[in-house]
Amino acid sequence: MAAYLRQHDLSAGVYLASATAVGTCGGQRSLWRQELHPGKVLMNVLMLSPDAQMIDRRILQEARTLAAAGHRIELLSGFECRQADAYEDGPIRIKRYRYDWQDRRRAVLNDRVGRQAARYLWPPVRLLTRLSDGPNAFEAFVLEKAMEHDFDVVHVHDFPMLRCGAMAAARRDVPLVYDSHEFYPIQSHFAPEDQKRYLRQEKALVRRCASVITVNPYIAGMMADAHGIQPPEVILNACEPPVATAADLDAGQRRDRRIAKALPPDDFLFLYQGWLSAERNLEPMIEATARQRDGVKLVVVGYGEYEASLHRLAAEVGAADRVIFLGRIENEVLSEITSLCDVGIVPYRAVDEMHRYCSPNKLFEFIAAQIPVVASDLPYLRDIVDGYSIGWLADLEKVDAFASALAVAATDADGMAASRTNLGRAWQELNWVVEGEKLIRIYEGLDRGR
């Protein structure tokens, strides 16, 4: 049986249908890029991301940074999208896929040996794949799409793509870069046995990586301790410069732009932006907003099934006219809204260690837009908000404390002025120019290691 499976390329862990690489295979680079960047080894970088809705800002920034350095970037983002798509974002080629949850390996077997023979061969093929830790049906789909491309490096964003990225890198014998946006395996919504399984998988796979990256020193330390490795490289979730910051706008300009965006022109506006979900401590934020004085409102930018619950809560607590839901806004437009608000809110609670040590995109987006911050008193948020004196910290799990923090921020003219001044210093250090250079150095190290 095993000899027959090998003969027909159906042995455990092998999925070759439609897996022929387009163009040349690893190691050959475009001559025009080499001419534009003399003396540098330029690579074809294949990025894998699970993002099936909006692509995380961090991913696009990394892709743009590497493309600006001369590397060729293809980003496969989302394998469970509502519909397949392919497009270009500047120099980045982006592809989106729709998996139909059919195991196409069985169809390949049917085509190769006939339906009748496949009926008997499929169970042992599937069993051998499992026993050899080969790809499951979804991973095989991702791997098939990856292997259609020419690449010299596989750059994985987040744990769900790590196994697929490792298999693709191994097949082409190219380096694997792992950017862990969070310490994924320890999330509280996973059952304990799943947490342990994911930790075992990540511990094994990070040893196959040429470079491991994460988002802050706390998570780097946690990963190092859990996996017995050197701390990953830290690249913060910092931003590229926005078109305009709050500091760039005078009162008249801000008023006019607010009107153009259908925002209250003269109210004090708090802002929450990001994914809307139960673990993000959004209910106390809505309730705290209901307790604010007239002329204070909350702008909520984001989407998710949880949005309907927040609408209902706002109505129940008498805040329906104080909370402005803007829904989903694309990254390229979001900064325009951010800079028109007065104070940003980072309300996370420590539902698990990953959230306790979080450093979310929105924190850096507020800094880039030059608006002060009200944040939960969690370790990394404290390091930034207190360390640079750019806002106020509180126990935001409690509605009373949340309401008090908002009231202070809305009335503390001296604190507001000092925070705005300090935001300039914070931006000089916490920006993507600084962080992007770290990524360039990592890729220069990959060159030396080849």
What CATH number does residue 423 fall under?
A: 3.40.50.2000
pLDDT above 90: residue 447 = no
pLDDT above 90: residue 103 = no
439 and 403 in one domain? no
148 and 85 in one domain? yes
Tens digit of each residue's pLDDT (9 = 90 or more) over 288-330: 999 999 999 999 999 988 999 999 999 999 999 999 999 999 8
The Cα angle at residue 32 between residues 435 and 440, in degrees rounded to 5: 15
Tens digit of each residue's pLDDT (9 = 90 or more) over 211-248: 999 999 999 999 999 999 999 999 999 999 999 999 99
444 and 304 in one domain? no
Query: What percent of the chain clears pLDDT 70, i.e. is strictly above it?
Result: 90
310 and 360 in one domain? yes
Spatial CA neighbour of 176 closest among 152, 146, 149: 152
> What's the CA gap between 120 and 313, in Å, rounded?
56
What is the model's pLDDT at position 276?
94
120 pLDDT tier (thresholds 50, 70, 90):
confident
* Those residues with Cβ within 8 angstroms of residue 409's Cβ, 6 or more apart along the chain or in another chain: 270, 343, 372, 374, 391, 392, 415, 416
Dihedral angle, C-alpha 219, 222, 227, 233, nearest 10 °: 40
Does 72 map to a domain? yes
pLDDT above 90: residue 385 = yes
Structural domains of the chain, count: 2
pLDDT above 70: residue 22 = no
Provide mean pLDDT across the span 340-362. 96
Side-chain half-sphere of 118: how many Cα atoms within 13 Å? 14
pLDDT above 50: residue 37 = yes
194 and 52 in one domain? yes
What is the model's pLDDT at position 109?
78
302 and 210 in one domain? no
The parent domain of residue 32 ranges over 2-236+434-449
230 and 251 in one domain? no
Does 81 map to a domain? yes
In the chain, the amino acid numbered 333 is: V
Q: What is the pTM of this model?
A: 0.88
443 and 295 in one domain? no
230 and 87 in one domain? yes
Tens digit of each residue's pLDDT (9 = 90 or more) over 136-172: 889 999 999 999 999 999 999 999 999 999 999 999 9
3-state secondary structure (DSSP) of residue 97: strand
Does 241 map to a domain? no
383 and 410 in one domain? yes
What is the model's pLDDT at position 121?
80
> What's the CA gap between 334 and 213, in Å, rounded?
26
308 and 296 in one domain? yes
180 and 74 in one domain? yes
